[in-house]
Amino acid sequence: MDLYKPGVSTSMSEKQNEIKGIFVEKREGEDTETLIRRFKKKVSKSGILQDLKKKSYYMKPGDSKRKKSIDARRRNEKERLKNIRVSDRLKKRSKKDEESGSDLR
């Protein structure tokens, strides 16, 4: 799919040499480990790998809706349990404060 831009002439060799995708340029005094770390960060932020995993197999629309619903239920349950644990901790702290008799009146 070639895009035509009026006033801009591009030869075939320019189109072939065009680089697509994510790339990083080495900075002055930068070691290869830091360069690789920056590249990995760019790839993960772009979402290319997640998209590739999603598109590696076909999922019927009904199955994808079902999976989405199951994932939402799991997230909600996890959040609910977290809230219960936090409230239990707060109750225990208030009981300790009452038992110790440390009134700040």
Q: Residue 76: what residue type?
A: N
What pLDDT, on the 0 to 100 scale, is given for residue 34? 94
End-to-end Cα distance, the chain? 77
| Predicted pLDDT of residue 63 | 95
Res 91: pLDDT:
84
pTM of the model: 0.47
pLDDT at 90: 86
pLDDT, averaged per 10 consecutive residues of the chain (105 residues), comes to 51 58 89 94 91 90 96 97 92 80 56
pLDDT at 93: 84
60 neighbors 80 (Cβ within 8 angstroms): no
DSSP per-residue string spanning 14-64 = HHHH---S---PPPTT--HHHHHHHHHHHHHHHTHHHHHHHTTS---HHHH
